[in-house]
A and B are shown apart, each in its own frame.
Chain A
Amino acid sequence: MGSRASSLLREEDIEEIKKETGFSHSQITRLYSRFHSLDKGENGALSREDFQRIPELAINPLGDRIINAFFPEGEDQVNFRGFMRTLAHFRPVEDNEKNKDPSAGEPLNSRNNKLLFAFRLYDLDRDDKISRDELLQVLRMMVGVNISDEQLGSIADRTIQEADTNGDMCISFSEFIKVLEKVDVEQKMSIRFLH
């Protein structure tokens, strides 16, 4: 039988996700179809293997780090809410959202949250700073075997030197933001969802 995905998602859930993430009704149902098609075990949650089955993701040098971003600390299943919460970071920033009610909290797709997502790609142990070692490991993922340890080390040193302002030989989140303040984060960390 074809997937009855949309019938498993209740209207109340859709409304809640809409409020939390800002996706439209139709976007949520389509992403639920996608979630459902990735969920081979049909148990309402995705495991790391489910993500790795996507060939384009499996060959992405930072594939494992991206997959990791979906799973909260210590867990290895992500449900649809968690899936949407993570994807919400990549919603484009719309103008009318900038004037929203400030007490509603910062939207998931704000410039700050997008940068935080990227920061966490580097911060392997989630201790809110990027050490030299962590930077080296992520660099190694991106370059494979094509660059020597020494060269990679000097690249890491130079990067930390430029960003580090308080001299602790690590990059904190605020130092990360400062270094990338001229980068068009809103465009480069956004995906154009069709309605």
Chain B
Amino acid sequence: MEGTSWDLALVVFEVWLSVVLGLIVLPAMFGVSLGFTDLYVKALVKTLEWATLRIQRGQKEEDAVPAHLPNGIIEKDDGSMEEEIGELRRSHPKSLAGGDFTLCDAFYFCKKGIESIVEDQVTQRFTSEELASWNLLTRTNNNFHYISVRVTIIWGLGVFIRYCILLPLRVTLAVLGLSWLVIGTTLVGLLPHSNVKTWISDLIHVTCYRICARALSARIRYHNKENHPKKGGICVANHTSPIDIVILANDGCYAMVGQIHGGLMGVIQRSMVRSCPHVWFERSEMKDRHAVAKRLKDHVADKTKQPILIFPEGTCINNTSVMMFKKGSFDIGATIYPVAIKYDPQFGDAFWNSGKYNMVSYLLRMMTSWAIVCNVWYLPPMSLQDGEDAVHFANRVKSAIARQGGLVDLFWDGGLKREKVKESYKEEQQKMYSSMIVGQD
């Protein structure tokens, strides 16, 4: 009895593995698409549209709470401090004999303060974007109550498909992809340095990332491929999650930059660097800006090495905005190739909220979403102009990326996720207000 059940299990496993290898892994490695993902996404879109209509109809009947408005809770005035306070003072009967202060000046700060309590530009960037209509995932179910039997059935079917069919498939693919990467790069590392080695190494990297992309049911659309980053340059992109690397590396080889980790990550990093040069830093080295800059400069100067991939925000943002770009990579003097990545949140939320989820739960969430659908735009290369400093250059690149990806361009630092805001911003406001009281003395 036991013998046969084990045999059966083995047979099932073998069939499973050959199906996976034959239909998914091999085509993926050669960059061929059998069209499964496209069909799947089309079917998903139809289903979600149907569900949205049902939900809207259900809400109209119930006369319940209207669907979440993506425009925000309040409508703000866009006036500057001078305009607003000027308006306040106009009605105040006062002789402006030096010392131009009025009690109603406080109204301006008060209103701005209350507005920021109700809705601010920064804190919302560190949590997942809210959807305009439910996408049949429990995790995004905020204000959508029970609608109808049919929607619930579809939701239940979705849960079954995602957890019992897609999840094992995706996990298998991910394991295969990563093992291939580690084994392949270690083997290639044994070869002597040559053109063949580089070519094989690139092949291994790309095929691994392609398998990983299948593991996420990723449908990526690349735009303006003629602007693809070239060797000796630095590619910068907005950062939403570690998956960004898989998304970008599906279309070319990059040299990664980052800190050496322990555990599984460390194993992967160490084997990757055996086959082609990536820039890994020890934790202690990261603090030394000059050392970091020097290593990047050396890498970029060597025209045989792949372009470096850097995420200047320094942390994951929720893909609705682009936050401050750290100037380090813009100071090196290399050509910058900006890339904009925009995920479609309807199919799965790619944002990694590192405060809330660790890497493993995050990956599990990714692998139980519907799919990862995103657009990648390669923007024309930019370089430092005469008389421009690194900060200005960084902002210029940031605006270009924000404009292309349809993201909000913020000057706030992504580090505000964990740290307090700098006092200097408050001091700026105080200075501006002071000049309104005493004028130019």
Contacts and interface: CB of A to CB of B under 8 A. Distances in A.
**A and B: real partners?**
yes
Interface string B398-433: 000000000000001000100011000111011101
Is the interface on chain B under 10, 10 to 19, 20 to 34, or 35 or more residues? 35 or more
Contacts of A192: 74-76
B93 A182 contact: yes
B60 interface: no
Given A144-B434, A192-B74, A154 B99 contact: yes
Interface stretch (B133-141, B240-248, B296-304, B382-390): B133-141
Interface in A111-170: 117-118, 121-122, 138-139, 142-147, 151, 154-155, 158-159, 162-163
Contacts of A143: 430, 433-434, 437
Contact of A189 (B91, B110, B121): B110
B263 interface: no
B74 A193 contact: yes
Interface size range of chain A in the complex: 35 or more
B421 A55 contact: yes
B111 interface: yes
Contacts of B8: none
B104 interface: yes
Interface of B: 65-66, 68-69, 71-76, 87-88, 91-94, 99, 101-124, 127-128, 138-143, 412, 416, 420-421, 425-427, 429-431, 433-435, 437-438
Given A2-B142, A147-B434, A194-B71, 18 more contacts: A2-B139, A4-B141, A4-B142, A5-B142, A29-B65, A38-B123, A56-B121, A60-B112, A66-B114, A87-B118, A117-B110, A121-B110, A139-B101, A151-B99, A163-B103, A183-B88, A189-B110, A189-B111
Contacts of B73: 27, 30-31, 34, 193-194
Interface of A: 1-6, 25-27, 29-31, 33-34, 37-38, 51-63, 66, 87, 90, 117-118, 121-122, 138-139, 142-147, 151, 154-155, 158-159, 162-163, 171, 176, 179-180, 182-185, 188-195
Nearest to A163: B103
B99 A188 contact: no
B430 A1 contact: no
Contacts of A57: 113, 116-117, 120
A27 B78 CA distance: 22
